[in-house]
Amino acid sequence: MISNRMGKPVTQRQLRVGEMIKQSLGMIFLRNEAKVPNLETNRITVTEVKMSQDLKVAKAFVLPLGGENADETVNILKEFSFLIRKVLSKKITIKFLPKILFAKDESFEYAEKIEKLIKQTNK
């Protein structure tokens, strides 16, 4: 069973809505439909979307291709999240369109760090 940080189990509905938003954001970025200024959205990968219990907030973990300028990319996405949300509203049918929070996905860096530690201990 999957649980969130508060220890409450994540519901199937949260997982389903999160996956739907993840796929929709991926297509919006791939097709550059949001027209975010100074950003090539087709170079952004949406790795995961976590939904709040009430489905009113979606936290989207993103990473630019190659991990270059990740912090800058996330800041631009945060600034223009209203544009992305507007395009998303036309893509999915849901009772309440969640507020989208963007965050840098650090799971790849973490995995790389663990891998280096394992290699060091094996020497």
| Count of structural domains, the chain | 1
Q: Please write the tens of the pLDDT for every residue from 7-64.
A: 678 789 999 999 999 999 999 999 988 888 888 888 888 999 999 999 999 999 999 8
Domain membership flag for residue 22: yes
DSSP-H helix ranges across 33-123: 70-79, 81-91, 107-122
72 part of a folded domain: yes
CATH code for position 45: 3.30.300.20
- Helix or strand or coil: residue 11? coil
Determine the Cα–Cα distance for residues 64 and 41; give it in Å rounded to an integer.
Answer: 8
Q: In the chain, how long is the greatest CA-to-CA distance? A: 55
Mean per-residue pLDDT over the chain, rounded: 86
Whether residue 7 lies inside any domain: the answer is no
In a domain, 95, yes or no: yes
Question: Is 74 within the bounds of a domain?
Answer: yes
Of 85, 87, 101, 114, the residue nearest 52 (C-alpha): 101
Torsion angle of the four alpha carbons 109, 84, 25, 62, in this order, in degrees rounded to the nearest 10: 0
Range of the structural domain that residue 74 is part of: 12-122
